[in-house]
Amino acid sequence: MPFCSRCQKPLQGALWCGACQHLQSSGLQADYFSVFGLPTRYDLDLKILEQSYHELATEMHPDFYATAPADERRLSESLSARLNQAWQTLQDPTARARYLTGIWQSQTPTHERDLPTGFLQEMFALQEELEELLEAKDQQALAAKHADFLQRLNDLRHNYQQQLIELKENTPDTTFCKQIQQQLNAERYLLRLLESCSPTSSETDP
């Protein structure tokens, strides 16, 4: 467990010492889980995460350092940026999974672009079907396709999330990392397909 650089007491989160209200410059290198003092595992309680995000934000935000010395103010800015990034990543199930595989990457490199066997062929076929429907402007069939993609996406998500939850805090082996990575890549693909047949996909910006 890390300790406060000033009062030496153990830290709850890596960015800020609750005991002596000191900003921790070492927190700039902290991973997103230790920002909140959480173990590195997929499963987490979103309510508690949000609460702890709000608590940390109200202590570290640069608005409360407006009259502090310039270097302290800058530190509060960088640490708040780190905190916001950590919150934004961990609160989103997909971003959290991607972040976890990123951490594993540094230890067990996997093929970043790998897809599940047969997935690409399946997607190509689906994409072709979709293009025909788009050309024919068949709204009913498009809606059905949309529902189908959504179902696939949800199944995929459910599957890898379950695997990640079961992993708990253990270090995964290469096969596991590869499986998760493949599913995350497949998810990206599906999301792009979904976007192209979404009923509100028209370009809105002038």
Partner 1 sequence: MTERIIGIDLGTTNSLAATVFDQIGPEVIAEPGQTPIIPSVLTMREGKWIVGQEALIGSLQNPTQTLHSIKRLMGRSLKEIPAEEQAQLPYELLAGERGQALVCLDKQTFTPQEISAEILKAVKYRAEAILGENLQKAVITVPAYFDDVQRQATRDAARLAGLEAVRIINEPTAAAIAYGLDERKDGKIAVYDLGGGTFDISLLQLTGKIFKVVATNGDTRLGGDDFDQAIVGELTLRIQQEFENTELHSPLARQVLRQTAETIKIGLSQSNEIEYTISIEDQSWSHQGSFTMTELQPLLAPVIQRTLQRCQQALDQADWKVEDLDEVVLVGGSTVVPELRLQVKQFFGQDPQVAIDPYKVVALGAGIQGHLLAGGRRDFLLLDVIPLALGIETVGGTFSKLITANTTVPTEAKELYTTHVDNQTAIEINIYQGERELVQDCRCLGRFKLRGIPAMKAGLPLVEVTFLVDANGILTVSALEKRSQTDASIEVIPFHGLTRQEIDGLLEASYDHAIEDFAARQLIEFRQTAERVLHGIEMHWTIAETALAQQDCTAIRQQMAVVRQRMEGQDPQVLKSEMDRLGDLTRSLADTVMGQAVLSALQEQEATSV
Q: Which residues bind partner 1 (CB under 8 A)?
A: 54, 57-58, 61-64, 66-67, 77-78, 80-82, 84-85, 87-88, 200, 204-205
Tokens of 174: 């290469």
* Per-residue buried b or exposed e for 177-200, using 16+ beta carbons within 10 Å of the residue's own CB: bbbbbbbbbbbebbeebbebbeee
Minimum distance between the CB of residue 121 and partner 1, rounded to whole angstroms? 27
Which candidate, 8, 11, 44, places its Cα nearest to that of 27? 11
Minimum distance between the CB of residue 51 and partner 1, rounded to whole angstroms? 9
Which CB sits closer to partner 1, 80 or 182?
A: 80
Minimum distance between the CB of residue 63 and partner 1, rounded to whole angstroms? 6
Which CB sits closer to partner 1, 78 or 179?
A: 78
Asked if residues 72 and 130 have their Cβ atoms less than 8 Å apart, the reply is no
Which CB sits closer to partner 1, 118 or 199?
A: 199
Asked if residues 116 and 186 have their Cβ atoms less than 8 Å apart, the reply is yes
Minimum distance between the CB of residue 24 and partner 1, rounded to whole angstroms? 17
Which CB sits closer to partner 1, 65 or 126?
A: 65
d(CA 177, CA 162): 14
